[in-house]
Structure 1
Amino acid sequence: MNRTYGARAAAGTLAALLVLAGCSSKAKDDGDGDKAAGGVKTGAGISGKTITLGALTDLTGVYATLGKSVTQAQQLYVKQLNAAGGVCGYKVALTVRDHGYDPQKAVAGYTELQPKVLGFAQFIGSPFVAAVKKRIDSQDKDLVLPQAWSSALLGSPYIRVIGSTYDIETINAVDFLIKAKGLKKGDKIGHVYFEGDYGESALVGSKHIAKEAGLTVVEQKIKPTDNDMTAQVAALKQAGVKAIVISAGPRQAASLVGVAAAGGFGVPVIGNNSAFAPQLLATQAGPALMKNYYVASPSLPIGADTPEAKKLVADYKAAYPEDSLDNGIVAGWTAASAFGEALKKACASKDLTREGVDKALLTIDSFDIGFGTVQNFSDPAAPSSRESVILQPDKNATGGMKVVQEAAVSKEAEAYTPKA
């Protein structure tokens, strides 16, 4: 598909936890994997006739709504994959742990599951994935397809960002404000962002396009537990910004847009892909969100007018009739589908070890599941796509979002080199 801690404090906490926990969880070497029936090489994460994947999610924290959708979409994918025969005669299982967007729980969950799983089809939270990146690259070598888009995650053959990173996504978002909302040279743009990898990666993007377009960025750094954006709105209004980017969670976006509207501050606001949940449309901020809020997304929304989207909506509703639809479903389904495709290719190469699955993903250069963007996983130093879709909240649309600009990449984003 970024709790109370500063970026530096979080890094120190996570580093200390890794020192304590890292070595004790060393997985067995896949290089000497076992031979299964049919001559398929296997290793960690495969036991009996089951391939086990991990999911480190947020079901109780700042991204609880999206975490639930991501997880249920992946459980649905696994169910359908197994019904179709599984992979190489193996059934696939998804083991889920809720970290509640807490750094200690995230590291503990990874440490617990890592020796038991082939890889992770879900890991929510850029700071947490970044905290274990060195360990994954040098020791564990398990494939991780995170719901995190920090550019700090690039460069790893094992952690693969699906879609544009936050810096590229923000460049595309500001380009939309310039072309569609009248932002022009000399204007000031506000940027409200979470401290840590998510927000600071997005800030790199806004500063880059601001320099290219002659804009000035007015920064407002916040914590994930800062839910009232009154002070930030007041500061940005005082500064005279003409538009605002928000790189935070759904609650912060709703507060920002709602407070601005209540104060007569009607500038357009655009958020990164994780800064909206359709449940917000039922709140007091709903009308303001539909009028003046936009979201940059790595794909078309769940309500897209494609056969694949319509099938996913129907299947998800049948499996989870009491739950609402949102773009977390698309993020979860995309990652699970990509992992499944890598498993199938690894099966064809008769190598279902971690190394074999990692190599298989590198051969996938045009992965398209019908949501508007094509993913290329062949270059670990690059995100799988540079395109963004611009969405707008709409209570009448399936999943609460409509498309205002199809998948596109700005010339600034096309020329930009992400810095890992």
Structure 2
Amino acid sequence: MMHRGQAVRGLAAALAAAVALTAAGCSAKAKSGDGSGTGKGGVRAGAGVTDSTISVGALTDMTGVYATLGKSVTQAQQLYVKQTNAAGGICGRQLELTVRDHGYDPQKALAAYTELEPKVVGYTQFIGSPFVAAVKQRIDGQDKGLVLPQAWSASLLGSPYIRVLGSTYDVETINAVDFLVTEKGLKRGDKLGHVYFEGDYGENALLGSEHAAGKAGLTVVEQKIKPTDSDMSAQVAALKQAGVKAIVISAGPRQAASLVGVAAATGLRVPVIGNNSAFAPQLLGTPAGPALEKMYYVASPSLPIGADTPVAKKLVTDYRAAYPKDALDNGIVAGWTAAAVFGEALKKACAAKDLSREGVDKALLTISGHDAGFGMTHDFTDPKAPSSKESAILQPDKSVPGGMRTVRQPSVSEAAKSFTPKTP
């Protein structure tokens, strides 16, 4: 059994080294991180904003553990930018999206952040909870550019500049365990396996499973893994020997496919549920595909790309036209939602005649009921809370667009309602 208190030495050391390398370059920056002045239309402007353009950044993973997610998120945001510009842009200015692929490498992620920071008003994505957490102090203290991360760790809460879209991993996992209890037969006294990445993401999710287990009378059997681990045979063997009746996985798509495939092949046929980033529909074409359709579920901060909503249907049509060779997945939903939220903040900032970083941050704090068209309403007025506590439960299904169907509509479990994420 693994314990979350054990040091995450490799990742922590790499992050510390990367932060140290970038600290000298940013120490002389102005505290506002902005350099604001009045521009076109009497609108206050600053970093990343000219009279003709608004520049935003995307720090993504197209070659690492989340390559599939990163590609879909980025292409959806590029589509949003293209369509917005075709409709006249925002505040009389064209949007520009500058993309950097960090490959889920901590030094590359932080170097890319440092490179783009003076050039953009903020970020429509930043994949990797540990990487966002590593620059949180810089963002809060001096940079102050809005960051909408593709990351859901509760450690990112509490900042007016880093805003989590949807439920944090701990809340999401509580909702996931509730689904196992209410609909998959998990009962008091049972053992619940939890396989999770070391670091911010997995350990925050573990807090959720432990809270839910305490409420439901379950025992959590932990298995900590690294993002570089791909074969889950040892973890499955340990969980089978422990006699678990269900499994939560807080890792990447490849780890989830290995876990479910090995479990099915070795006779551990129990329900498995993953956090929102632990699935990609391309997995349905692998040998693990049949087992995923039978045994696997995903907790999600939105309805899937194949949802029966007007926004979803239009996005499917537009995305297929723009990227005809690429599969549909929920990264498209996540990317589009983040871009749309950032766009809404820019529009409100323009109306207030303040497109400085400070103005955009303040504008987001006024948005209390944003509906991105995928079943969730987001409230950004409280930096200490995620924008929603709801989770939809999805199941892999290769017969539907995007490879996921909804088996439980967005909802908040009773255990999640009473849970307050721990902010730094």
Query: Is TM (by shorter chain) over 0.5?
Result: yes
- Cα distance, 1:48 vs structure 2: 4.4
Verify: 1:301 aligned to 2:304, yes or no: yes
Structure 1 counterpart of 2:284, one-letter code = L
- Cα distance, 1:38 vs structure 2: 1.6
Indicate the SS of the match to 2:359.
helix
User: In the TM superposition, what are the counterparts of 1:14-53 in structure 2 within 5 Å?
Assistant: 14-25=15-26, 27-28=29-30, 29=32, 33-53=36-56
Verify: 1:407 aligned to 2:414, yes or no: no
8 A Cα contact 1:168 1:386, kept in partner: yes
- Cα distance, 1:9 vs structure 2: 2.8
Verify: 1:93 aligned to 2:78, yes or no: no
Verify: 1:239 aligned to 2:242, yes or no: yes
CA deviation string 1:341-380 (max 9, x = no partner): 0000000000000000000000000000210010000000
Q: Which moved more, 1:309-318 or 1:34-43?
A: 34-43
8 A Cα contact 2:19 2:135, kept in partner: yes
Verify: 1:174 aligned to 2:177, yes or no: yes
CA deviation string 1:145-194 (max 9, x = no partner): 00000000000000000000000000000000000001011000000000
8 A Cα contact 1:27 1:114, kept in partner: no
8 A Cα contact 1:56 1:124, kept in partner: yes
- Cα distance, 1:385 vs structure 2: 0.2
Tell me how far apart the structure 1 counterparts of residues 334 and 236 of structure 2 sit (CA, whole Å). Answer: 30
Tell me how far apart the structure 2 counterparts of residues 125 and 38 of structure 1 sit (CA, whole Å). Answer: 37
CA RMSD for the aligned pairs?
1.0
Structure 2 counterpart of 1:405, one-letter code = R
Selected match of 2:141 from 138, 141, 158: 138
Residue 132 of structure 2 corresponds to 129
CA deviation string 1:107-164 (max 9, x = no partner): 0000100111000001000010011001110111110000000000000000000000
Tell me how far apart the structure 2 counterparts of residues 229 and 279 of structure 1 sit (CA, whole Å). Answer: 19
CA deviation string 1:45-85 (max 9, x = no partner): 11341110000000000000110000000000011111111
Indicate the SS of the match to 2:166.
coil
User: In the TM superposition, what are the counterparts of 1:17-416 in structure 2 within 5 Å?
Assistant: 17-25=18-26, 27-28=29-30, 29=32, 33-416=36-419
Structure 1 counterpart of 2:195, one-letter code = V
Paired residues in the alignment total 415
Structure 2 counterpart of 1:198, one-letter code = Y
- Cα distance, 1:22 vs structure 2: 2.4
Structure 2 counterpart of 1:41, one-letter code = R
Query: What TM-score results when the alignment is normalised by the length of structure 1?
Result: 0.97
Over 3 Å off, 4+ runs? 25-32
> Using a 3 Å threshold, how does the CA distance of structure 1 residues 27 and 300 change in structure 2: closer, same or farther?
farther
- Cα distance, 1:280 vs structure 2: 0.3
Structure 1, unaligned runs of 5 or more: 1-5
Residue 14 of structure 2 corresponds to 13
8 A Cα contact 2:33 2:143, kept in partner: no
Indicate the SS of the match to 2:40.
coil
- Cα distance, 1:32 vs structure 2: 5.4
Query: What TM-score results when the alignment is normalised by the length of structure 2?
Result: 0.96
Q: Which moved more, 1:259-268 or 1:167-176?
A: 259-268
8 A Cα contact 1:124 1:146, kept in partner: yes
Structure 2 counterpart of 1:299, one-letter code = S
Structure 2 counterpart of 1:189, one-letter code = L
Structure 2, unaligned runs of 5 or more: 1-6
Tell me how far apart the structure 2 counterparts of residues 56 and 21 of structure 1 sit (CA, whole Å). Answer: 16
Structure 1 counterpart of 2:55, one-letter code = T
